[in-house]
């Protein structure tokens, strides 16, 4: 993953934020929308693109664009920084290869312990029955 190349491919758009805010909110575009063309990216290898397409499938548009928005701060520059950090952490998380699970066997003592507790519960329930006099 070539971060500098990916950073150059990012496209930003400033939008008016929603919600309450008074006079200032109606004339300032502080919300930032980041758009990244995942399949057309030259900063990612083919293997990385395939992995990200699988992992980020629900976040992609039909055209294969990844769109993130941020309107947490009042400043457009701060929102841009936040959305870039969020984008790279999303990429990092999407490229992580999960560790293989190594199957393990339960220990002998744990098996014995389980069987003893089952026998104890069984005896407890059997003692609740009415005695059979026949």
pLDDT tens column, 48-78: 889 988 888 888 888 888 999 998 888 889 9
Q: What is the pLDDT of residues 11-42, one digit of tens each?
A: 999 988 877 767 776 778 888 999 999 888 88
Walk me through the domains of the chain, giving residue ranges and CATH numbers: 3-95 (3.30.160.20)
Give the integer Cα–Cα distance in Å for 82 and 76. 10
DSSP class per residue in the chain: --HHHHHHH-EEEEEPPPS---TGGGT---EEEEEEESTT-SSS-HHHHHHHHHHTGGGB-TTSEEEEEE-SSSSHHHHHHHHHHHHHHHHHHHHPPPPPP---PPPHHHHHHHHHHHHHHHHHHHTTSPP---
In the predicted structure, residue 3 carries a pLDDT above the cut 80: yes
Instruction: Return the residue matching tokens 């029955």.
Output: 129
The pLDDT confidence band at residue 129, using thresholds 50, 70 and 90, is confident
Q: Identify the pLDDT of residue 43.
A: 86
pLDDT higher for 125 or 25? 125
Instruction: Return the residue matching tokens 């990012």.
Output: 10
Bridge partner residues of 13 (DSSP): 33
Its pTM stands at 0.69
Q: What is the pLDDT of residues 85-116, one digit of tens each?
A: 999 999 999 888 889 999 999 999 999 999 99
Q: Identify the pLDDT of residue 29.
A: 86
């Amino acid at each position: 993953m070539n971060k500098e190349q990916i950073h150059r491919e990012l496209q930003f758009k400033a939008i008016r934020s929603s919600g309450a805010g008074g006079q200032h909110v109606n004339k300032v575009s502080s919300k930032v929308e980041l758009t990244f063309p995942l399949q057309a990216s030259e900063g990612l290898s083919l293997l990385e693109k395939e992995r990200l397409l699988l992992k980020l499938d629900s976040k992609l548009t039909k055209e294969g664009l990844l769109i993130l928005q941020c309107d947490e701060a009042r400043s457009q520059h701060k929102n841009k920084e936040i959305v870039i950090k969020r984008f790279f952490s999303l990429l990092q998380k999407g490229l992580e290869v999960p560790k293989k699970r190594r199957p393990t066997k339960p220990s002998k003592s744990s098996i014995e312990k389980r069987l003893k507790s089952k026998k104890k519960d069984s005896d407890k329930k059997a003692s609740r029955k009415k005695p059979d006099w026949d």
